[in-house]
């Protein structure tokens, strides 16, 4: 960064914002500026990201939960450089060792008899594949999901997602999709029947506002699916890989899905990588035509080598357990703040380091995010519930950093309380 003078950095920021206005998205540019984020990200390490002026932010957005192993983990960067220099992309016709190794590792660490993996480049793509596999295997069409769920913004993933504002403009979406309230087993039982290909659920709703189901909800959904012959797809794109304090959130509930989807953290915080994983029995439907579902860039040697190293780092550094411990500690602190600011904070909830703070209205949540940004902590509201801000730091966040986030939130709450009092005068 030393290569630039202050004026040059200033110019880079101005030019980048101008190019966003002209070539990327004027709406997004205005949103970033409004949120006190009129700067350019430049480098990152651990749980922090630095802007071009060297100003460090504790990143509680973490690319919406991508940096489970932290930014630029040295082991993962080293593995990436080695693979990058040797063979980053595949011919797609010779055997790809990195893909085979990653698929084997996933078979070993995922619950139950999940065995085969298909690799892609994003969460939404993993969902598309999972939905297609369910229809192919069951030869049925009906898909059931939950209100406020978030599964991505491609047409299929959007069809099973649960917020109208993102769906309405694109209708008609794919037919025979039904949404029921989350954590309401009666509603699920009413809709899921012998015509159902799959039920897709997040073990904890992330973008819905960090909604944690009662302990018996997922086991009962599993039971219903098994009874009617529908497949259970658990979307662990956000909850997987240690985020909730276990490697997979479904382990909290003792539930094994028929198809599991992953993305976000699987790419080690440095590349895009998604996957859907299923059983040998279900995977048989790909045998007749193994190219019925494919991706040119999915499962490339570079991303798979990184994916495997990421899983090893998660295991060897005990990151899921640490996420549990730090999550408990942090949640305790946040509960304290809720008691101190009952006029602003409605509820605090979380599992591991997937934590939501719910405010009484979405303006308060936006104001808090702006105040936090001014205090060099990045937070943002959840996509399907703008009253909730997420605290989803890299799982390697230190105890000290969590304390700093807690203090920044307390100061921000004081500041917002003053603003509210002024307005009410
Ligand atoms: N599924 C869940 C649970 C998610 O949280 C997300 C993204 O936030 C997705 C799917 C879509 O992932 P992507 O944005 O990589 O397409």
- Angle among Cα 83, 89, 90 to the nearest 5 degrees reads 115
Q: Is residue 3 part of a domain?
A: no
Q: Is residue 116 part of a domain?
A: yes
Query: Does residue 336 share a domain with residue 256?
Result: no
DSSP per residue, 193-262? -TTEEEEEE-SSBTTTTSBPPPTTHHHHHHHHHHHHTPEEEEE-TTTTTTTTSSSSGGGGTT---SEEEE
Q: How many domains does the chain have?
A: 2
358 lines ligand 1 (CB under 6 A): no
Query: Does residue 151 share a domain with residue 57?
Result: no
Q: Is residue 282 part of a domain?
A: yes
Query: Does residue 353 share a domain with residue 216?
Result: no
Q: Is residue 276 part of a domain?
A: yes
Query: Does residue 137 share a domain with residue 119?
Result: yes
Query: Does residue 275 share a domain with residue 231?
Result: yes
Q: Is residue 24 part of a domain?
A: no
| CA of 235, closest atom in ligand 1 | 3
CATH of the domain at 273: 3.40.640.10
Mark which of 316, 348, 371 sits at the end of a domain.
316
Query: Does residue 261 share a domain with residue 193?
Result: yes
- Angle among Cα 48, 52, 57 to the nearest 5 degrees reads 25
**Residues of the domain holding 78:** 74-316
Q: What is the pLDDT of residues 283-326, one digit of tens each?
A: 999 999 999 999 999 999 999 999 999 999 999 999 999 999 99
Query: Does residue 290 share a domain with residue 153?
Result: yes
61 lines ligand 1 (CB under 6 A): no
In sign, the C-alpha dihedral spanning 66, 68, 72, 74 is negative
| CA of 207, closest atom in ligand 1 | 5
Query: Does residue 337 share a domain with residue 258?
Result: no
Query: Does residue 347 share a domain with residue 200?
Result: no
128 lines ligand 1 (CB under 6 A): no
| CA of 125, closest atom in ligand 1 | 16
Q: What is the pLDDT of residues 62-114, one digit of tens each?
A: 889 999 999 999 999 999 999 999 999 999 999 999 999 999 999 999 999 99
How far separated are the first and last CA of the chain, in Å rounded?
47
- Write down how long the chain is: 425
Query: Does residue 146 share a domain with residue 247?
Result: yes
CATH of the domain at 325: 3.90.1150.10
Residue with tokens 């490339």: 300
156 lines ligand 1 (CB under 6 A): no
Give the three-class secondary structure for 388. Answer: strand
pLDDT at res. 425:
83
CA of 150 from ligand 1 middle (Å) equals 7
Q: What is the pLDDT of residues 136-158, one digit of tens each?
A: 999 999 999 999 999 999 999 99
Give the three-class secondary structure for 386. Answer: strand
207 lines ligand 1 (CB under 6 A): yes
Query: Does residue 49 share a domain with residue 192?
Result: no
Q: Is residue 373 part of a domain?
A: yes
Query: Does residue 330 share a domain with residue 225?
Result: no
Q: Report the distance separating Cα 110 and Cα 133, nearest Å.
A: 18
Q: Is residue 305 part of a domain?
A: yes
For residue 391, the surrounding DSSP H or E stretch is strand 385-391
Q: Report the distance separating Cα 136 and Cα 274, nearest Å.
A: 20
182 lines ligand 1 (CB under 6 A): no
């Amino acid at each position: 960064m030393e290569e630039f003078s202050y004026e040059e950095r200033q110019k880079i920021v101005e030019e980048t914002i101008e190019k966003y206005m002209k070539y990327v998205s004027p709406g997004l540019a205005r949103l970033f500026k409004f949120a006190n984020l009129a700067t350019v990200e430049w480098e990152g390490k651990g749980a922090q990201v630095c802007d071009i002026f060297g100003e460090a932010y504790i990143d509680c957005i973490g690319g919406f939960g991508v940096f489970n192993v932290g930014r630029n983990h040295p082991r993962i960067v080293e593995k990436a450089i080695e693979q990058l220099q040797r063979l980053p992309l595949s011919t797609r016709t010779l055997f790809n060792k990195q893909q085979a190794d990653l698929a084997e590792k996933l078979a070993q660490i995922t619950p139950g008899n999940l065995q085969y993996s298909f690799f892609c480049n994003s969460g939404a793509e993993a969902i598309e594949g999972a939905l297609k596999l369910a229809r192919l295997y069951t030869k049925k069409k009906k898909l059931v999901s939950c209100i406020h769920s978030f599964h991505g913004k491609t047409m299929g993933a959007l069809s099973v997602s649960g917020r109208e504002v993102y769906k309405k403009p694109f209708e008609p979406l794919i037919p025979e999709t039904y949404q029921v309230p989350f954590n309401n087993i009666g509603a699920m039982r009413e809709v899921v029947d012998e015509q159902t290909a799959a039920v897709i659920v997040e073990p904890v709703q992330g973008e819905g506002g960090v909604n944690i189901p009662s302990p018996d909800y997922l086991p009962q959904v599993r039971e219903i699916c098994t009874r009617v012959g529908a497949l259970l797809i658990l979307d662990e794109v956000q909850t997987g890989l240690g985020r909730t304090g276990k490697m997979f959130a479904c382990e909290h509930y003792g539930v094994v899905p028929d198809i599991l989807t992953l993305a976000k953290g699987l790419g080690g915080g440095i590349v895009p990588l998604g996957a859907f994983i299923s059983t040998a029995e279900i995977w048989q439907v790909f045998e007749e035509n193994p190219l019925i579902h494919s991706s040119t860039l999915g499962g490339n040697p570079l991303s798979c080598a990184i994916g495997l190293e990421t899983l090893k780092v998660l295991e060897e550094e005990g990151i899921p357990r640490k996420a549990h411990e730090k999550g408990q500690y942090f949640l305790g602190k946040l509960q304290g703040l809720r008691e101190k600011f009952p006029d602003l904070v409605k509820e605090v909830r979380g599992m591991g380091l997937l934590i939501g703070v719910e405010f009484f209205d979405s303006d308060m949540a936006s104001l808090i995010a702006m105040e936090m940004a001014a205090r060099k902590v990045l937070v943002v509201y959840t996509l399907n519930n703008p009253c909730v801000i997420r605290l989803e730091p890299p799982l390697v966040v230190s105890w000290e950093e969590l304390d700093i986030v807690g203090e920044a939130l307390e100061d921000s709450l004081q500041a917002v309380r003053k603003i509210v009092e002024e307005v009410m005068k």
